[in-house]
Copies of this chain bind each other. A is one copy, B any other.
Amino acid sequence: MSSECSKCGKKAVYLRRYTAEKLCESCLVDTTIDRVRRAINRHQMLKEDDRIAVAISGGKDSAVLLHILQQIEERFPESEIVPVTIDEGIHGYRDQALESARNLSTSLGLDLQVFSFKDLFGHTLDSIIASREGISLGACSYCGVFRRRALNVAAERLGADVIATGHNMDDEAQTVLMNVLRGDSSRLARTNVKRNRSIEGLVPRVKPIMVLSERDIVAYSHVLDLPYHDVPCPYATEAYRNDVRHFLNEMEHKRPGTLITLLRSGEAISDAFQKISTGGTMGYCERCGSPSPSKVCKVCELLDKMEN
């Protein structure tokens, strides 16, 4: 790119297409942090004295999340950041990603906390998948259910007030579209739950980098040379999400701003469903006591299936 930074006139290295900003390295970093700071304020994601569990996968999204949050939270001496990784037990994949997560945490002067499926549930994801003959659910469905629970248990044990995850704009837009295409109204209602509406027994979750596109994140981590692990999970074969991603990437390319608009659409839809929902269907699992819409929660149900 031969032109000048829209902010300071220096040499631009990045075009943020959906805002039409041409940015030099330093303004790219500053505006990226600023986008996240404004999102945190606007949606009241964090409080000044929060102990924040930051979910770190080892990949670029959570690397950028941790890096940005640390800079934002420097201004709030009563807040605290605790990076957490869930080790699902995926041989040859998670061990490498863990290494990246640890390097990143160390480089930021933070101590990575690791919780494993094996310790929490008695099984690694590898052993679950190996044993699930005749069970139709895909690996990602198992992993999602267990990982969600694991992160909540981890946050509780660490005394965290809130969990921050590295979902980016692309991820979230894909999820909105997938839920609309699947006609899953209850899931549409459950996405975008605000921190102040969180459910007793679940540590509230926030997504501070939902306002950054994948391109923004790649550019930010590239300029700052953040260490991250860039290998896809060996179980990931999400054909549906891939189709949706491909379509949205094309639409965003042709009509920059499509992803943001889709996110706003998702928020409005989610708000409307939450307003008309009678609520009250969430109880507690009679086995483990976790919040659950059914008598026995999904985690206990899956563990049962494995043991029988």
- Which A residues contact B (CB, under 8 angstroms)? 176-177, 180-185, 188, 240, 243, 247, 250-251, 254-255, 258, 261-262, 264-265, 268-269, 272-273, 275-276
Residue of A182, A254, A268, A273 with highest tally of chain B CB at under 10 A: A268
**Inter-subunit contact B181/A262 (CB<8 Å):** yes
Q: Which of B183, B185, B251, B269 contacts A181 (CB 8 A)?
A: B251
How far is B147's CA from A289's CA once the two chains are assembled, in angstroms?
59
A287 CB to nearest B CB, Å: 32
Contact status A180-B177, CB under 8 Å: yes
Nearest to A262 among chain B residues (CB) is B181
Nearest B residue to A250, CB-CB: B243
A258–B261 alpha-carbon span in the complex (Å): 22
Contact partners of A184 in chain B: CB under 8 A: 265
CA distance A177 to B177 in the complex (A): 8
Asked whether, in the complex, the Cβ of B275 is within 8 Å of the Cβ of A183, the reply is no
Contact A251 B243, CB 8 Å, known A185-B268, A265-B181: yes
**When the two chains form their complex, are residues A265 and B177 in contact, meaning their CB atoms are under 8 A apart?**
no
List B contacts of A261 (CB < 8 A): 181-183
Check A185 against B265 for contact (C-beta < 8 Å): yes
Q: How far is the CB of A180 from chain B (nearest CB, A)?
A: 5
Partner of A272, one of B247, B255, B273: B273
Cβ-closest 10 pairs across A and B: A272-B272, A183-B265, A183-B261, A247-B247, A183-B264, A185-B268, A275-B276, A180-B265, A272-B276, A272-B273
Greatest chain B CB density within 10 A among A240, A243, A261, A272 is at A272
A-B contact pairs, 12 of them (CB 8 A): A180-B180, A181-B261, A182-B265, A185-B265, A185-B268, A185-B269, A243-B250, A269-B269, A269-B272, A272-B272, A272-B275, A272-B276
Contacts of A176 in B (CB 8 A): 180
Distance, CA A75 to CA B221, complexed state (A):
69
Q: Chain B residue with minimal CB distance to A264?
A: B183
CA distance A131 to B202 in the complex (A): 61
A240 contacts across to B, CB distance below 8 A = 255
Docked Cα-Cα span, A33 to B180, in Å, equals 29
Residues A181 and B258 in contact in the complex (CB < 8 Å), given A269-B269, A272-B273: yes
Complex contacts, A250 vs chain B, CB 8 Å: 243
Instruction: Say yes or no: B273 contacts A180, CB within 8 Å.
Output: no
Q: Which residue of B is nearest A269, CB measured?
A: B269
Which among B177, B188, B268 is the interface contact of A183 at CB below 8 angstroms?
A: B268
CB < 8 Å neighbour of A243 from B243, B254, B273 = B254
Task: Determine whether the beta carbon of B243 is less than 8 Å from that of A180.
Answer: no
The CA of A177 and the CA of B182, in the complex, are separated in Å by 12
Chain B residues near A275 (CB, 8 Å)? 272, 275-276
Q: Which residue of B lies closest to A277 (CB)?
A: B272
Nearest CB to that of A275 among chain B residues? Answer: B276
With both chains docked as a complex, state the minimum distance between the C-beta of A197 and any C-beta of chain B, in angstroms: 16
Cβ distance A199 to chain B, nearest Cβ, rounded Å: 21
